């Protein structure tokens, strides 16, 4: 999963980014409202954590602009405002949840997981290619009757493949969806993770599902 954090307080942003990355999420940062809006409109993020008090453009204005443009990405608002009226305004503007500063990271993480589960439940109850299945809600992966244990990054990569069966995915496309804007395209990290996946989903000698498209990237298909 790839998340966007729009937060101008550097220490808070760094704290959130580090904690989420330790949980296996890819995290992009924006330090002001204008940058935050631009990145929010990219359509590559699974969740946006949005501070209300931002320079250049406030969080509520960003949220209103996103919803006006029919961007449905879940938004978790952060603010020092604790009044019920402020929370109502935020939720009515289109926020999916609301967290008041200061907060415990475990509470933030729980809300992030809840929003991502809700989105997964709404979008697709089950992904399947041949006898390989992935449940976005429970994060269970299996091939045939054999359950497969994946790391958070492996799960995100496999999910991206299974949402795009038969489509050639370039390394750039994979990097943009599964990693963050700081990803170094000159590394072989993507190839390494694809090999990790292949070993796990083909551990029992099952037919190959992830195929290399030489000089381009990869495609998931049944041959």
Cα 14 from Cα 19, distance rounded (Å): 8
Q: Please count the residues of the chain.
A: 223
Q: For tokens 């550097």, name the residue.
A: 10
Task: Find the DSSP H helices in the chain.
Answer: 10-22, 33-40, 59-68, 84-93, 105-123, 152-162, 171-178, 189-201
Domain of 20, CATH number, reads 3.40.50.2300
Domain that holds residue 31: 2-122
Same domain, 19 and 43: yes
Cα 112 from Cα 223, distance rounded (Å): 38
For residue 82, name the pLDDT band (cuts at 50, 70, 90).
low
3-class SS of residue 71: coil
What local confidence, expressed as pLDDT, does residue 200 receive? Answer: 94
Domain of 176, CATH number, reads 1.10.10.10
DSSP β-ladder status, 26-30 and 2-6: parallel
What is the percentage of the chain residues whose pLDDT exceeds 90?
49
Quote the DSSP letter at residue 21.
H
Same domain, 67 and 166: no
Same domain, 116 and 7: yes
Tell me how crowded residue 49 is: count the other CB atoms within 10 A of its CB: 27
For residue 64, name the pLDDT band (cuts at 50, 70, 90).
very high
Quote the DSSP letter at residue 98.
E
Q: What does the pLDDT look like over 105-137, one tens digit per residue?
A: 999 999 998 898 777 665 656 889 999 999 877
For residue 181, name the pLDDT band (cuts at 50, 70, 90).
low
Q: Residue 61 above 90 pLDDT? A: yes
3-class SS of residue 61: helix
Q: Is the pLDDT higher at 82 or at 214?
A: 214
- Contacts with 38 (C-beta within 8 Å, 6 or more apart), sequence order: 30
3-class SS of residue 73: coil
Number of domains in the chain: 2
């Amino acid at each position: 999963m790839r998340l966007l954090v729009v937060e101008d307080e550097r220490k808070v942003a760094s704290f959130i980014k580090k904690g989420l990355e330790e949980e296996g999420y890819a995290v992009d940062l924006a330090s002001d409202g204008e940058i935050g809006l631009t990145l929010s409109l990219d359509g590559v993020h699974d969740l946006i954590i949005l501070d209300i008090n931002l320079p250049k453009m406030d969080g509520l204005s960003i949220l209103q602009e996103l919803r006006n443009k029919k961007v449905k990405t879940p938004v978790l608002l952060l603010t020092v405002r604790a009044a019920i009226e402020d929370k109502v305004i935020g939720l009515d503007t289109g926020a999916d949840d609301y967290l008041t500063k200061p907060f415990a990271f475990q509470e933030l993480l729980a809300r992030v997981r809840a929003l991502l589960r809700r989105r997964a439940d709404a979008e697709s109850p089950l992904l399947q290619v041949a006898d390989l299945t992935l449940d976005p809600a429970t994060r269970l992966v299996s091939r045939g009757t054999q359950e497969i244990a994946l790391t958070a990054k492996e799960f995100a990569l496999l999910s991206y493949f299974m949402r795009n069966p038969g489509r050639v995915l370039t390394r750039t496309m994979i990097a943009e969806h599964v990693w963050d804007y700081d990803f170094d395209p000159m590394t072989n990290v993507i190839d390494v993770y694809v090999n990790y996946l292949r070993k796990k989903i083909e551990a029992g000698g099952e037919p190959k599902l992830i195929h290399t498209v030489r000089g381009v990237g990869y495609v998931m298909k049944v041959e």
